[in-house]
């Protein structure tokens, strides 16, 4: 049986998170092609509805990739991001879906190797949970 690769949506801030993606690309590091990076001005712009919409549209997993607490360009409250993440995890659980399909990572600026390591590990975990969550379950 041939299965398609897990679809992973990565919401990333325009600053530290995206600098990790750029650093990985500049270093020639690779990660699974089915990981889609969506740039946001700030990770604090993500809310539970947006996270759940990604799953509804076929994502097998969602990563939230943001600045380390205290390093946000907009002085966003890391607690707000964590609260949205926890609310989305609770909804996933209520829907009978695995909470592990959602991850929150705070990354230091320019950590390309760390980014690749984290998203690849997450991808491999999600691959073990296939098939997809909503649209293909």
Look at residue 137 in the predicted model and tell me its pLDDT. Answer: 41
* Residue 43 falls inside a structural domain: yes
| Total domains, the chain | 1
* Residue 115 falls inside a structural domain: no
* Residue 25 falls inside a structural domain: yes
Estimate the share of the chain in helix, then strand, then coil, as percent rounded to the nearest 5: 45, 20, 40
Look at residue 18 in the predicted model and tell me its pLDDT. Answer: 95
Query: Between 16-26 and 112-128, two packed helices, what is the crossing angle to 10 degrees?
Result: 90
Please give the chain's pLDDT, 137 residues, in tens.
Answer: 346 789 999 999 999 999 999 999 999 999 999 999 999 998 888 999 999 999 999 999 999 998 888 777 777 777 889 999 999 999 999 998 899 999 999 999 999 999 999 999 999 999 998 565 554 44
Residues in a beta bridge with 39: 12
Entry pTM: 0.90
* Residue 70 falls inside a structural domain: yes
* Residue 73 falls inside a structural domain: yes
Rounded Cα–Cα distance for residues 126 and 111 (Å):
23
* Residue 137 falls inside a structural domain: no
* Residue 69 falls inside a structural domain: yes
Look at residue 79 in the predicted model and tell me its pLDDT. Answer: 83
Domain that holds residue 80: 11-108+124-128
- Least Cα distance to 103 among 79, 127, 86 occurs for 86
Look at residue 85 in the predicted model and tell me its pLDDT. Answer: 96
* Residue 42 falls inside a structural domain: yes
Look at residue 84 in the predicted model and tell me its pLDDT. Answer: 94
């Amino acid at each position: 049986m041939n299965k398609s690769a897990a679809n992973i949506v990565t919401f990333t801030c325009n600053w530290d998170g995206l600098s990790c993606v750029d650093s990985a690309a500049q270093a020639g590091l690779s990660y699974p092609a089915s990981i889609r990076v969506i740039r946001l001005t700030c990770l604090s712009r993500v809310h539970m509805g947006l996270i759940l919409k990604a799953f509804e549209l076929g994502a097998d997993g969602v990563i939230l990739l943001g600045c380390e607490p205290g390093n946000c360009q907009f002085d966003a409250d890391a607690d707000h991001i964590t609260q949205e993440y926890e609310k989305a995890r609770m909804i996933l659980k209520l829907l009978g879906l695995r909470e592990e399909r959602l991850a929150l990572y705070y990354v230091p600026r320019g950590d390309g190797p760390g980014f690749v390591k984290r998203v690849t590990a997450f991808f491999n975990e999600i691959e073990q949970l296939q098939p997809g969550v909503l649209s293909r379950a």
